[in-house]
Amino acid sequence: MRIFHYISILVFTILIGALIYLYSPHYQIIKGKIFGTYYNIKIKTDNKDSQLKDEISHRLAEINSLMSVFEKNSEISLINAASAKQKIELSSDMSKVIKASDLVYRQTEGYFDPSLGKLIDLWGFGSSKPSEPSDDEVKQALKNSGFNKLRFSKNFRYLTKNNSQIMLNLSAIAKGWAVDEIALLLDKKGYSDYVIEIGGEVKTKGFRGEKGDPWTIGINRPTAHSSDNIMVISLSNMAVATSGNYRNFYSRDGQILGHTISHKTGKPVESDVASVSVFHDSCMMADAYATAIVAMGIERGLQFANRYNIKVMIFDQDLKRYLSNEAAQIL
């Protein structure tokens, strides 16, 4: 009888486990490294695709070969090396990112400016090591910056620089673009429930559970060396990009220098903002807007967000939270 009792318990346990497995959502998880950071993708699916990771890796490597200033033969590096007045034909991908960059540059009145590549390098946040540029170097680099010094064909398939010294850096928009492109890849393959994260930029679609539960996304606490979240949000069918100087910075003579460069001074911005999270249908646009609002500061940033009906959440240096009108409706 005792043996029968143990067998009954064992069979019952196996049945419960089988039922849990059958009725619990199944996921395919894909991880890797790109753009000097990590990516994590979680797809709710019962059928794992053994080729999917290779397809995703290939697409991300393709984007890196276009957008990376660290690759000397990348498309952006070839643009940066081009002479003034040279007509440069852009790839379809580059054309889309440049077109979006031009829009955000104009909307933000220069607070988002991908032409600050030389200044980003001078301050050690690009392809160069941290340095101490002189005021004259900063002034000269600032003189040779300005997205308005680029000329585009009507369809953004051709670009011309009026100054050969202009250097582009798309790091403030390229990760968001990559997230959107991986989402497009998953959509084409028929997936309807997933979350994609590349270096803190996130896009969600559908739900994580069978009961319509949204995905849960952590917003990092915007303090140096912190690995916990300041809050966790529920998100579905939306992207969120977070920007701040609390991760990418270095200290010089007791001063903290962040990676966001001012288009007015040519120096790292001194902002009352600790972090900015932007919620948008497009992760690319969220990425660019978040960078611009860090440079704007809280008051101007909220005014901008409300003017363009953008969902924005800001934390100041004391971790006080501010919401734009649109963000207040979802958070």
Decide: residue 141, CB within 10 A, 0-12 exposed, 13-18 middle, 19+ buried. Answer: buried
Task: Name the phi and psi angles at 64, rounded to 5.
Answer: -60, -35
Amino acid symbol at 124: G
Task: Name the phi and psi angles at 96, rounded to 5.
Answer: -65, -40
Domain membership of residue 325 (yes or no) is: yes
Domain membership of residue 104 (yes or no) is: no
What pLDDT score was predicted for residue 4? 52
Domain membership of residue 174 (yes or no) is: no
Distance between CA 233 and CA 218 in Å, rounded? 6
Q: Is the pLDDT of residue 18 over 70?
A: no
Backbone torsion region of residue 232, taken as left when φ is above 0, otherwise alpha when ψ lies between -120 and 50, otherwise beta: beta
What pLDDT score was predicted for residue 9? 52
Residues of the chain with pLDDT > 70, as a percent, come to 86
308: enclosing H helix or E strand: none
> In the predicted model, what is the mean pLDDT of residues 26-30?
95
Question: How many domains does one find in the chain?
Answer: 1
Domain membership of residue 200 (yes or no) is: yes
> In the predicted model, what is the mean pLDDT of residues 95-110?
97
Site of tokens 């009792």:
5
H helices of the chain, in order, are: 2-23, 52-67, 75-81, 92-107, 117-122, 135-143, 171-188, 283-296, 298-307
**pTM of this structure:** 0.88
Of the listed ranges 42-46, 121-125, 134-138, 154-158, the one predicted with least confidence: 121-125
Structure tokens at 209: 């559970």
* Cross-strand bridge partners of residue 203: 196, 239
Task: Name the phi and psi angles at 257, rounded to 5.
Answer: -110, 115
Q: Is the pLDDT of residue 193 over 90?
A: yes
Structural domain that includes position 294: 39-46+191-329
What pLDDT score was predicted for residue 11? 46
Backbone torsion region of residue 109, taken as left when φ is above 0, otherwise alpha when ψ lies between -120 and 50, otherwise beta: left
What pLDDT score was predicted for residue 16? 47
Domain membership of residue 101 (yes or no) is: no
Domain membership of residue 84 (yes or no) is: no
**The domain spanning residue 209 has which CATH number?**
3.10.520.10
Question: Which candidate, 312, 317, 316, 314, places its Cα nearest to that of 329?
Answer: 312
What pLDDT score was predicted for residue 121? 85
Domain membership of residue 306 (yes or no) is: yes
> In the predicted model, what is the mean pLDDT of residues 6-27?
52
Question: Which candidate, 258, 250, 246, 257, places its Cα nearest to that of 222?
Answer: 246
> In the predicted model, what is the mean pLDDT of residues 240-267?
70
> In the predicted model, what is the mean pLDDT of residues 248-261?
56
